[in-house]
Amino acid sequence: MILVLDACAMIAYLRGEPGGDVVGGLLADAANRSYAHAVNVCEVYYDALRRGAPPGPTRLADEAVALIEHAGVEIREDLDGDLWRHAAARKAHRRMSLADAFAVALTQRLGATLVTSDHHEFDAVAEERVCPVLFIR
């Protein structure tokens, strides 16, 4: 299965939050290919910077990204006109964060399933069948 992880899914995995074990299982399954858009990884990095204690918040944030990559998540930096226009249209059509709009656009581009814990942002995406959504909790 092709998967796109949003920031909530990656953070749950990294922090051992509820649903993090589901993400871990998906990442451990060799039959799956996992991706995340760089904008969503930026959210993970930002979250780790905020939570990091001086003097090493940057180190903590770098380690978070390294753990995600080591777990098999490929960071995609697609930012061509088709993708960013698609993300903008998604955000204009349905109120959601720009980062989540990029996750949806990448999911559709790859023919993937979006992995998230964020019902607030993605319940409507799932109901409208914009793309397959797997809620980890």
Structurally, the chain folds into a number of domains equal to: 1
Q: For the chain, what percent of residues have pLDDT higher than 90?
A: 88
CA–CA gap between residue 121 and residue 6 (Å, rounded): 11
Owning domain of residue 8: 2-135
* Torsion, Cα of 96, 32, 11, 39 (10° steps): -50
Which pLDDT score is estimated for 55?
Answer: 65
What's the rounded mean pLDDT across residues 94-103? 94
Q: How many CB atoms are closer than 10 A to CB 95?
A: 8
CATH of the domain at 108: 3.40.50.1010
Q: How many CB atoms are closer than 10 A to CB 33?
A: 15
Q: Which amino acid is at 69?
A: E
- Stated pTM of the model: 0.94
pLDDT band at 94 (very low <50, low <70, confident <90, very high): confident
pLDDT in tens, 1-39: 999 999 999 999 999 999 999 999 999 999 999 999 999
